[in-house]
Structures are given as C-alpha cells and as structure tokens.
Amino acid sequence: PEPEPEPGVACISNSDCIDPDKPICDLETGLCVAPEPEPEPGVACISDIDCIDPNKPICDLETGLCVASE
C-alpha cells in the first residue's frame, strides 16, 4: 500500500502559503514547507585553486565549500 502523504498545504506559489512557519512553496511536492536552514558560512569553490585560506585549502566537491585538509 502507498504510504499516506504527509499532511500539508497544497500550493502552486509562495503566496498560497499562509503559515508563517512554512512560507515556501516546494514546487517538487506542491506543498508549503519551512525555509531551508542557512548554509554555514564558508568559501564557495569549484576547485582547490579557489581556496586561498591556508587553514582550508581543499575544495569539498560535495558541499562546494573550502575545508581543512584531513
């Protein structure tokens, strides 16, 4: 059997979402959702050459942020 869908407010745009805790319309699900948490501050990168901080010289391709070497 299909799992029950989570209860939620259907939407087609953010203006349909009146709940202050879920003001964003997720177009993939068609439901109002809470905003994504802010990403941790970091230096965005696409390769190690973008990382000029000697403490974080490696570009983590999964996160797109400069990280400390292992």
35-70 burial: b if 16+ Cβ within 10 Å, else e: eeeeeeeeeebeeeeebeeeebeebeeeeebbbeee
The pLDDT of residue 42 is 80
Q: What does the pLDDT look like over 2-54, one tens digit per residue?
A: 665 556 889 999 999 999 999 999 999 999 999 876 655 688 999 999 999 99
Query: Would you list the domain boundaries of the chain?
Result: 7-37, 38-70
CA 42 to chain centre: 14
pLDDT of residue 34: 92
Q: Which amino acid is at 23?
A: P
Question: pTM value?
Answer: 0.44
Question: Which residues have a Cβ under 8 Å from the Cβ of 1 and sit 6 or more positions away?
Answer: none
CA distance 1 to 40: 39
For 44, the 3-state DSSP assignment is: strand
Q: What is the pLDDT of residue 5?
A: 53
